[in-house]
Structure 1
Amino acid sequence: MGDVTVVGAGVFGLATAWACARRGAKVRVIDRTGIAAGCSGGVVGMLSPHAPERWNETKEFQFQSLIAAESMWREVEDTSGLLTGYDRVGRLQPIDTERALELARERAVNADEHWQGKALWRVIAAKDAEDWCPKSETGLVIHETLSARVHPRKACLALAEAIRRKGGVVEVGDAQTLEGKVIWATGVAGLRELSAHFGKTVGNGVKGQAAVLGLDARGVPITSAGDVLVVPHADGTVAVGSTSEREFSSEDQTDTQLDDLIARACDVFPMLASAPIVERWAGVRPRAKSRAPMLGVHPLNGDQYIANGGFKIGFGMAPKVGEVMADLVLEGIDTIPERFRPEASL
């Protein structure tokens, strides 16, 4: 099967290395700053689909990835002996206008067509969502059962340990000696390198911010209300995220945008107002020009490969990304959607 070297220990790099290791490849993962040291070390971990309308190969790819997530993360847990925080808890979304209600009902029909009976999208009364339900102006909410959550940091640590237990190596250092088939999964740094080489924006970093609150709501659905994401985790905390800033002065420090986000989350779920803030997080997420993952042959090194551009959907896409990259690198089988190819951002 040969050797595989993955540069980058974020979720795309680790998921690709795991898929290769499962197939018997000798895998080495190397990252100059450590496992999930970038945006994959975040705190939100919301795995949700785009709306099930105007169906295309991108949405089909995402759907298949979300369906595959449970078996992947369970196998990672079994192999590593570590928890990932994964659970397919579903999602609630408030319906605040009559137009939003009309769209929600149209999308329920689309989900019935495209989700193959593996998940549901339904409009229900907010009172039927039990005690954990976002405020809704119409008294109705969307309840879909495809969404899940995972704890990003724990999931990456579990992936790294699972790779080791398959005989692979995961280490911190500079990628000076690269052996076998090489996959670059270097996030923002990799996108900046491509932009500098081509003299135009191929991708960039978008700052995101989130917070962890000390409220035990484990097992209930995640919620998206506008741009407010609320994710109850299995460790008895609730993550609130996340903002997006294309122009920012610091990659590390959170600012008033996060205070505003927390306030809006408390408006959606008033019980959050009394919960202590356990952690404030900020990080820079890799956004390719196409806004889709960048997968395939590396634009600068034709005998190497790239897996980048996870942006806000990296963990949701990771199960399928790992498999299609392993197909390409190990078997020479290319099933990558056209929009996901590097050329779409060049």
Structure 2
Amino acid sequence: MRYDVTVLGAGIFGLAIAWACAARGAKVQVIDPNGIGAGSSGGVVGALAPHVPEQWNAKKQFQFEALDGAAVFWAGVADAANLPSGYARVGRVQPIMDQAGLDLARARQSGAKTHWQGRYIWDIRPAADYAPWITSPTAQVIFDSLSARLAPRQGLAALAAALRAKGGQIVSDAPLMGSVVEATGAAGLAELSDAFGVAVGAGQKGQAAILDADMGSLPQLFIDGVHFVPHEGPQGRGQVAIGSTSERDFNDPSTTDANLDFLIEKARRLCPALAEAQVVTRWAGLRPRAKSRAPMLGRHPLRTDHFIANGGFKIGFGIAPRVADVMADLVLEGRDTIPSDFAPAVSLPAQD
């Protein structure tokens, strides 16, 4: 079979782009020698959360469009795959720590009304509404209705099945055919850094865990930098994913368990309802972080007959639906609808 598009990399960017192209009628193959979700996309947290609704810019607008369109995107994937993705728009709760935080939360309410187009709320509510899962020094919390969750491994499995249902294939090796999109994560950023002799980007280690606890229908929580995300576990019993660490120096393997153990203990301290919850899954992986901290989308800097989609870092799953759309526009139709902040050149050294 001849393919119109070849995607290198079976992580969230690669599979989402492959699905978007296939949904538009293209014949697509995905090549990854390590299999589906072998890199950072095989994680466990799945917190799809927005930046704060202030100091608006192109990156925040792009993320908003991605989160806004995620329900339709994942419903289409689940329908084509006949598999659940683990997606749900459950919202997010954050404690308000002091009077300054309360004043800031109130100021951001108007920003949410404007930038979130009146479709989602940034609300101040009593912390007692979410007891015993969260406490707050001010007895108040922020609730936003834009945040959602996704079970990463379920989402990847659904994307893979949806792609195959459209006649696509996912293989470990094959000849390149058609337009080529490189979504190769940390390895791809390392190649660019070697080629240009500067740090274009790198893998940054993250760690997370799943605890055996049921939050029921509560929103996800964000407390002192830790995400607490409810998921459905085996036999319908709830589980809570917690994450994550962010480690630039990870060459010493002895720190892996220690850092994750610290995260687990911190999570139990911040959320006493998890004090006795057992750890059922531990995860570590390298998340691709571009120098600009924005994703790199467009023509590949080394192979201009190829395209690149890399640098999702901590928000890869959250922005994937929009990344898939703009990359399909570029690859299939030659239309560049990508924000200029995401151009690969932003992370590259200046050219004379």
Same fold (TM over 0.5): yes
2:73 maps to which residue? 72
1:224 maps to which residue? 222
1-structure distance, mates of 2:253, 2:179: 32
Q: 1:11 to 1:296 in 2, by over 3 A?
A: same
State whether residues 213 and 238 of structure 1, in contact with CA within 8 Å, keep that contact through their aligned partners in structure 2.
yes
Deviations 1:162-212 (A, max 9, x none): 000011111123x6x211000000000000000000000000010001111
Q: 1:70 to 1:275 in 2, by over 3 A?
A: same
1:157 maps to which residue? 157
The letter for the 1-side match of 2:131 is D
Deviations 1:64-96 (A, max 9, x none): 000110111111111111111100000000011
**How much has 1:98 moved relative to structure 2?**
1.3
**How much has 1:219 moved relative to structure 2?**
2.6
- SS, match of residue 314 in structure 2: coil
1:203 maps to which residue? 201
The answer on 1:43 being equivalent to 2:41 is no
The letter for the 2-side match of 1:284 is L
**How much has 1:261 moved relative to structure 2?**
1.3
Q: 1:132 to 1:147 in 2, by over 3 A?
A: farther
- SS, match of residue 304 in structure 2: coil
Q: 1:8 to 1:85 in 2, by over 3 A?
A: same
**How much has 1:97 moved relative to structure 2?**
1.4
The answer on 1:167 being equivalent to 2:167 is yes
Range with bigger deviation, 326-335 or 256-265: 256-265
Q: 1:253 to 1:281 in 2, by over 3 A?
A: farther
Amino-acid identity (%): 56
**How much has 1:234 moved relative to structure 2?**
2.2
**How much has 1:344 moved relative to structure 2?**
0.8
Aligned length: 343
The letter for the 2-side match of 1:186 is T
State whether residues 65 and 318 of structure 1, in contact with CA within 8 Å, keep that contact through their aligned partners in structure 2.
yes
1-structure distance, mates of 2:290, 2:335: 24
2-structure distance, mates of 1:76, 1:60: 23
The letter for the 1-side match of 2:103 is E
- SS, match of residue 120 in structure 2: coil
The answer on 1:97 being equivalent to 2:107 is no
**How much has 1:33 moved relative to structure 2?**
0.2
Deviations 1:259-301 (A, max 9, x none): 2211221122111111111011111100000001110000011
1-structure distance, mates of 2:293, 2:38: 22
1:141 maps to which residue? 141
2-structure distance, mates of 1:65, 1:136: 30
1:270 maps to which residue? 272
2-structure distance, mates of 1:20, 1:132: 45
1:116 maps to which residue? 117
1-structure distance, mates of 2:324, 2:132: 34
**How much has 1:132 moved relative to structure 2?**
5.4
The letter for the 2-side match of 1:272 is L
Candidates 329, 335, 338, aligned match of 2:337:
335
**How much has 1:249 moved relative to structure 2?**
1.7
The answer on 1:22 being equivalent to 2:23 is yes
The letter for the 2-side match of 1:178 is L
1-structure distance, mates of 2:329, 2:254: 36
2-structure distance, mates of 1:254, 1:247: 11
The answer on 1:280 being equivalent to 2:278 is no
1:345 maps to which residue? 347
Q: 1:253 to 1:212 in 2, by over 3 A?
A: farther
2-structure distance, mates of 1:12, 1:237: 26
2-structure distance, mates of 1:247, 1:218: 37
Q: Which sections of structure 2, spanning at least 5 residues, go unmatched?
A: none
Q: 1:190 to 1:250 in 2, by over 3 A?
A: farther
**How much has 1:250 moved relative to structure 2?**
5.5
1-structure distance, mates of 2:319, 2:155: 14
Deviations 1:196-244 (A, max 9, x none): 0000000001000111101122431011112111111122110010000
The letter for the 2-side match of 1:201 is A
Q: TM-score when scaled to structure 1?
A: 0.96
2-structure distance, mates of 1:261, 1:166: 41
Q: Which sections of structure 1, spanning at least 5 residues, go unmatched?
A: none
2:180 maps to which residue? 182
RMSD (Å), alpha carbons: 1.5
Candidates 234, 258, 261, aligned match of 1:259:
261
The letter for the 2-side match of 1:97 is D
Deviations 1:46-77 (A, max 9, x none): 00000010111111100000011011111111
State whether residues 207 and 251 of structure 1, in contact with CA within 8 Å, keep that contact through their aligned partners in structure 2.
no
- SS, match of residue 219 in structure 1: coil
The letter for the 1-side match of 2:94 is Q
- SS, match of residue 14 in structure 2: helix
Q: 1:150 to 1:250 in 2, by over 3 A?
A: farther
